């Protein structure tokens, strides 16, 4: 019989739970449709469930004539926020306070004449949001890269990997005259990465559960792979191939900050029956 072990911190983080609670409370008021600019969280199954409650992801704000717009956990762009306010649309700001902290620190650095470096994925909505609040003074680094500037201020995408963040910062220390660094990696992300690495060293195989579009889930998968542990990133148990578990005694399970409990429970039940 296989033993199934889970990380202590698993499933929704504070910011995601808060955002889901906010939209659900709004949906109960039944005051018309609720729109989120892009998916409110990076979990396709949860987004589908919310659609059934009238919470619809949209790509373009011009689609909204009535109802309420929700600022998703990763934040929206400055110009989008301005549009919503100018048009007088109802809105709920469900941006995670830790994401707002990144924005605040970046704006502080810009005000104090630092060239602002955001360590993260330039395609991620959080990074795009933070960048939009700077006046062409921000750059995004995904790996150690030389920079031409005397004063550099650094923040990190909340879900960025610790190791990569420290590598980029160490390279900058060698190059610039003045460096100011705010480690804005979210504690939930850091804790989950540490716990995933530690569990990976104790088991034969790890299942990382969460959206394929979820940055923090992908980072968990990469963390576990660095521990040389056999690992699979899945969204639901439908992707599991029982062949993976041949000769396996211990399975480790972890999930991203946007993975709902019901999916985690269902994967756990599934593997326990194998
Ligand atoms: S991972 Fe951290 S920053 Fe991102 S939503 Fe959760 S609590 Fe907020």
How is the chain split into domains, by residue range? 3-11+188-273, 14-96, 98-185
Of the pLDDT bands very low, low, confident and very high (cuts 50, 70, 90), residue 212 is: very high
Give per-residue pLDDT as tens, 107-142.
999 999 999 999 999 999 999 999 999 987 899 999
Cβ–ligand 1 distance for 15 under 6 Å, the answer yes
Looking at ligand 1, which atom is closest to the CA of residue 98?
A: 3
Nearest protein CA to atom 5 of ligand 1, as residue: 15
pTM for the structure as a whole: 0.88
CB of 215 closer than 6 angstroms to any ligand 1 atom: no
CA of 13 to the centre of ligand 1 (A): 6
- The hierarchical CATH code for the domain 98-185 is 3.40.1010.20
The whole-number pLDDT of residue 32 equals 77
| pLDDT over threshold 80, residue 166 | yes
Q: How far is the CA of 259 from the centre of ligand 1 (A)?
A: 12
Exposure string of 57-85, with b = 16+ CB inside 10 Å and e = fewer, is eeeebeebeebbbbbbbbbbbbebbebbe
- Per-residue pLDDT tens over the stretch 2-44: 899 999 999 999 999 999 999 999 998 866 789 998 888 989 9
For range 211-215, the mean pLDDT = 93
Does the beta carbon of 158 sit less than 6 angstroms from any atom of ligand 1?
yes
Catalytically annotated residue among 126, 195, 235, 268? 126
| 221-258 pLDDT, tens digit each | 999 999 999 999 999 999 999 999 999 999 999 999 99
Residue 126 known to be catalytic:
yes
Residue whose CB lies within 8 A of the most ligand 1 atoms, among 9, 13, 17, for a mutation test: 13
12 C-beta closer than 6 A to ligand 1? no
Q: Can you tell me the distance from the alpha carbon of 34 to that of 231, in angstroms, rounded to the nearest whole number? A: 37
Q: What angle do CA 101, 163, 253 make, to 5 degrees?
A: 90
CATH number of the domain located at residue range(s) 3-11+188-273 in this protein: 3.40.1010.20
Please compute the mean of the pLDDT values over residues 205-219 and round it to a whole number. 94
3-state secondary structure 198-215: HHHCCCCEEEEECCCCCH
Please tell me if the domain spanning 3-11+188-273 has the same topology as the one spanning 98-185.
yes
Q: Which atom of ligand 1 is nearest to the CA of 73?
A: 5
Name which residue sits closest to atom 8 of ligand 1, judged by CA: 15
Ligand 1: which of 159, 218, 254, 259 to mutate, judged by most atoms within 8 Å of the beta carbon? 159
Task: Average the pLDDT over 172-200 and give the result.
Answer: 95
- CATH number for 14-96 (one of 3.40.50.11270, 3.40.50.1000, 3.90.180.10, 3.30.70.120): it is 3.40.50.11270
Percent of the chain at pLDDT exceeding 70? 99
Mean residue pLDDT of the chain comes to: 94
Rounded (5°) CA angle 73-197-14: 25
189 alpha carbon to ligand 1 midpoint, in Å? 7
Mean pLDDT along residues 60-87: 93
Segment 167-186 shows an average pLDDT of 96
Predicted local distance difference test score (pLDDT) of residue 99:
97
């Amino acid at each position: 019989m296989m033993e199934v072990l889970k990380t202590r911190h698993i499933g929704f983080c504070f910011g995601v739970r808060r955002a889901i609670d906010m939209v659900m409370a709004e949906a109960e008021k039944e005051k018309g449709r609720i729109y989120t600019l892009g998916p409110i969280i990076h979990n396709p199954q949860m987004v589908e469930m919310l659609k059934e409650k009238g919470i619809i992801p949209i790509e373009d704000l011009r689609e909204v004539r009535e109802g309420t717009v929700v600022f998703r956990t990763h934040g929206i762009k400055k110009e989008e926020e301005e549009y919503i306010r100018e048009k007088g649309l109802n809105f709920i700001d469900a941006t995670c306070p830790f994401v707002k902290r990144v924005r605040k620190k970046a704006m502080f650095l810009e005000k104090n004449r630092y060239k602002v470096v955001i360590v993260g994925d330039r395609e991620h909505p959080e990074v795009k949001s933070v960048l939009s609040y700077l006046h062409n003074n921000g750059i995004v680094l995904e790996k150690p890269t030389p920079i031409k500037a005397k004063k550099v201020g650094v923040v990190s995408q909340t879900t960025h990997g610790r190791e990569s963040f420290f590598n980029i910062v160490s390279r900058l220390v060698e190059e610039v005259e003045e460096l100011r660094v705010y480690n804005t990696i979210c504690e939930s992300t850091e804790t989950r990465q540490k716990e995933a690495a530690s569990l990976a060293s104790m088991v034969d195989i790890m299942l990382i559960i969460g959206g394929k579009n979820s940055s923090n889930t992908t980072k968990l998968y990469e963390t576990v792979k660095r521990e040389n542990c056999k690992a699979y990133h899945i969204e639901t148990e439908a992707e599991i191939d029982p062949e993976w578990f041949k000769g396996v005694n211990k399975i480790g399970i972890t999930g991203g900050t946007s993975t709902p409990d019901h999916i985690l429970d269902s994967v756990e039940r599934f593997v326990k029956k194998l």
